[in-house]
Copies of this chain bind each other. A is one copy, B any other.
Amino acid sequence: MPYKYTYTDFQTKSPGQGGNWASLGDCLLMYVEPFFPVNPFSMQEKNEAKKLYRRIHSQTEPTQQKYQHDGCCGLFGHKIDLLDQYEKKLEDLEENVRWEQSDASLAGREVRAAFVSFKSRYGAAVALNIQQSTNPTQWVTEQAPEPHDVYWPFFSSSFMRTWISKLVIIFACVLLTALFLLPVLVVQGLTNLSQLEVWFPFLTSILTITFVSQVITGYLPSLILQMSLKMVPPIMQFLSSIQGYISYSQIVRSACNKVIWFTVWNVYFANVLSGSIFTQFSLFLEPKDIPARLAVAVPAQASFFIAYVVTSGWTSTSSELFRIIPFLGSLIRKPFAKCMDDEVEVPSFPYHRDIPRVLFFCLLGITYFFLAPLILPFLLVYSCLGYIVYRSQFIHVYAPIYETGGKFWPMVHNSMIFSLILMHAIAVGIFTLKKLPVASTWIFPLPIFTLIFNEYCRKRFLPIFTAFSAESLIKKDREDQNNAGMAEFYNKLVTAYQDPALLPIRYSAIPDSQSAPLLSAAEV
Contact = CB atoms under 8 A, between A and B. Distances in A.
14 contacts: A20-B470, A23-B474, A23-B478, A25-B25, A126-B126, A126-B129, A130-B470, A131-B467, A133-B470, A134-B471, A136-B469, A137-B459, A163-B456, A163-B459
Interface string A434-461: 0000000000000000001001100110
Oligomeric state, in copies: 2
Interface of A: 20, 23-26, 122-123, 125-126, 129-137, 159, 163, 167, 282, 285-288, 452, 455-456, 459-460, 463-464, 467-472, 474, 478
Closest 8 A-B residue pairs measured CB to CB? A25-B26, A285-B288, A136-B463, A129-B129, A131-B469, A130-B470, A134-B469, A133-B471
A464 B455 CA distance: 25
B137 A167 contact: no
A282 B287 CA distance: 10
Contacts of A132: 469-471
Nearest to A288: B285
Contacts of A456: 163
A278 to B, nearest CB: 12
Contacts of A135: 460
Contacts of A136: 459-460, 463-464, 469
A20 B131 contact: no
Contacts of A455: 167
Given A20-B471, A26-B26, A136-B464, 6 more contacts: A23-B474, A25-B26, A131-B469, A132-B469, A136-B463, A285-B287
A281 to B, nearest CB: 10
Among A126, A287, A455, max chain B CB count under 10 A is at: A126
A109 to B, nearest CB: 27
A136 B467 CA distance: 11
Contacts of A24: 470
A125 B26 CA distance: 14
Contacts of A286: 285-288
Nearest to A467: B131
A415 B208 CA distance: 68
A481 to B, nearest CB: 11
A472 to B, nearest CB: 6
B131 A130 contact: no
A463 B135 CA distance: 9
A463 B126 contact: no
Contacts of A464: 134, 136
Contacts of A472: 134
